[in-house]
Amino acid sequence: MDLLNTLVDKGLRRELPTRDEALAVLSTSDDELLDVVAAAGKVRRHWFGRRVKLNYLVNLKSGLCPEDCSYCSQRLGADTGILKYTWLKPDEASEAAAAGLAGGAKRVCLVASGRGPTDRDVDRVSDTIKAIKEQNEGVEVCACLGLLSDGQAERLRGAGADAYNHNLNTSESTYGDITKTHTYADRVDTVQKAHAAGLSACSGLISGMGETDEDLVDVVFALRELDADSVPVNFLIPFEGTPLAKEWNLTPQRCLRILAMVRFVCPDIEVRIAGGRELHLRTLQPLALHLANSIFLGDYLTSEGQAGKADLEMIADAGFEVESADQVTLPEHRRRGGCGSGSGSGTDAPEGSGCGSGCAPAEAPGSAAQAEPGDARTDLVAVRRRGAGTDVAPNA
């Protein structure tokens, strides 16, 4: 398939594909899917070998958010039945983090709901970062606290944060359709603030919100332009009680095409399978490891994930290995590129929650080349009732 050969060659050279080439990946047929996975897998293995980085989420503050993001179970006025609690204390957060680290995670992702942190909130998170690092030598810590004000990224960096996450989520042209209380430009500004402060910048997307192929390509190209070190790919979890509860637009095959497209556009960047992989990839999760080099271990912010033990078994059975604490995630040329810690990735904040013969050309969204959405699998959406904010042992 000439298209895939071209994309592999470009990926090994870190050359950006054309938009038409990226769109063509999303329009391939099911008969071509394994060829797509194999091609993108060559690029993934060239830059990351067979390593899988494990990341662990700690939800520092759940619910109680004033923003109106349509995809989010913690949005203003949402009746989703999720856990709601205010800030965990540093020792509580450190204890929660320890469970994920014991399970094999090398990065802890500290997330808090809200528009953005106050200076007092930055103090709280700084104390938590210090507590985690004092008790776990070599651990990487990423913060995800919303929109940043001037100077806050520098303060987090000074406290020991390695990375900051803030997702673009969707294309600039459609961002206003999913959120009214802040703008796409606000999100770009926060990613730029984090990068400028020397933090490893992480920003990703959410697929499955009714977006077009063009939207997906737009946001991924924007993420590459922002020079994010990590791109988490979330698959929408349609929580009952949110405006997008009826959006079940993804199939396992569609998810694999999206991950492959992201890998071709971002060949040497950490691509993470994030929220919703269990719902939408289902039994094809192991195939996705040939495309992405990072996953979350255990549960998400407000929803339950696959059992941590099952994650580790899946990685081993698929012929991959867990990335150890002494291994550096990103290729050397990116580590010298000013990404801060040089450790490799940030985190997303998944909202229990983004050219030739033989290959179908880029087609309009909804064309026959795209798989039809599957039935709603509401049985797979489980609200998190364990771990941070509860007295029940976490899933790690």
CA distance 254 to 43: 19
CB 194 within 8 A of CB 159: no
CB 351 within 8 A of CB 272: no
Main-chain phi, psi angles of 57, to 5 degrees: -90, 135
Structure tokens at 147: 């929109």
Provide CB contacts within 8 A for 291, sequence distance 6+: 37, 40, 41, 44, 256, 259, 260, 262, 263, 271
Structure tokens at 239: 């929580």
Give the residues across from 165 on adjacent strands.
202
CA distance 389 to 322: 28
CB 144 within 8 A of CB 111: yes
CA distance 26 to 128: 41
The SS3 assignment for 319 reads: coil
Residues serving a catalytic function are: 65, 69, 72, 109, 142, 202, 272
The SS3 assignment for 67 reads: coil
CA distance 91 to 265: 40
One-letter identity of residue 95: E
Instruction: Identify which of 347, 178, 210, 349 has the alpha carbon closest to the alpha carbon of residue 276.
Output: 349
CB 107 within 8 A of CB 133: no
Interaxial angle between packed helices 252-265 and 213-226, expressed in degrees from 0 to 180 and rounded to the nearest 10 = 30
